Amino acid sequence: MGQNVYLGYNCIIEKNVQIGDNVIIGHNVVIYEGSKIGDNCHIHDNVVIGKKPMRAKRSILKAQKEWKPAMIGEGCTIGTGAIIYAEAFLDDEVFVADLATIREKVSIGKQTIIGRGVAVENECTVGTRCKIETNAYITAFSTIGNDVFVAPGVVTSNDNYMGRTEKRFKAFKGCTIQDGGRVGANATLLPGLIVEEEGVIGAGSVATRTVESECIVVGNPARKLRKVAEEQLLDKK
């Protein structure tokens, strides 16, 4: 336990937990064994850190007995009711809003914002300075680069067989959004879809194939509309 740490009422902190200096921990927080929290973090009420995953009997995921601790970098904020699973890693100054879920084996880059109610499923990587906004769903096995914007209500998917046939077990593939990619509100990305650097998917679109670099696609199925305006490109900002 570091210096100048505030603990709210009814907190449960298991053994071998490391907490840095100047950390504020709200009421009813649960921090599981071995978890690490960096300096200057603010953990709000009813947060769970280091939760071990549950596994349904029909789950495609293999059983795992041992889990590495969750790791929270310096200057992070974890909102009320958020759940950070075991083997999750949050780099410095990550902001996780209320009721968000970050699953096991997920890495979140520095200064990224995870919005209210967002779910980042298992084995995903999210880069630095991203904004994943309210109620977005990042499916398992996805990769998100740096400076990516994902608007509210976006849905990504990873199962082309929608739960049927044995083929699906070898075909799961998350989505990839490369550096600077942007996805508009309520858009849907089909399994394995790639948004290349600075690509844009318009609001409400259903993206079924690769979005080319610096192109805007719209519609269902999404088709190329035009190039991204030059002044909006990252190297022009």
**Does residue 1 belong to any structural domain of this protein?**
no
**Does residue 199 belong to any structural domain of this protein?**
yes
**Does residue 79 belong to any structural domain of this protein?**
yes
**Does residue 32 belong to any structural domain of this protein?**
yes
Q: CA 95 to CA 112: how far, in whole Å?
A: 6
**Residue 157: which CATH number?**
2.160.10.10
Distances 10 to 14, 19, 69 between C-alpha atoms, Å: 13, 17, 22
Structure tokens at 231: 């002044």
**Does residue 116 belong to any structural domain of this protein?**
yes
pLDDT tens, residue by residue, 27-37: 999 999 999 99
3-state secondary structure of 168: helix
Backbone angles phi, psi at 85, to 5 degrees: -80, 170
**Per-position pLDDT tens, the chain of length 237:** 899 999 999 999 999 999 999 999 999 999 999 999 999 999 999 999 999 998 777 666 677 778 999 999 999 999 999 999 999 999 999 999 999 999 999 999 999 999 999 999 999 999 999 999 999 999 999 999 999 999 999 999 998 767 777 777 676 799 999 999 999 999 999 999 999 999 999 999 999 999 999 999 999 999 999 999 999 998 865
Say which DSSP state 146 is in.
S
3-state secondary structure of 140: coil
**What domain range is 225 assigned to?**
6-236
Angle at 29 between CA 135 and CA 32, to 5 degrees: 95
Q: Are 215 and 205 in contact (CB under 8 A)?
A: no
Looking at residue 237, its pLDDT comes to 59
Nearest to 126 by CA among 153, 152, 99, 94: 94
**Does residue 11 belong to any structural domain of this protein?**
yes
Total tally of structural domains belonging to the chain: 1
What contacts 206, CB < 8 A, 6 or more positions away? 187, 188, 190, 219, 220, 221, 222
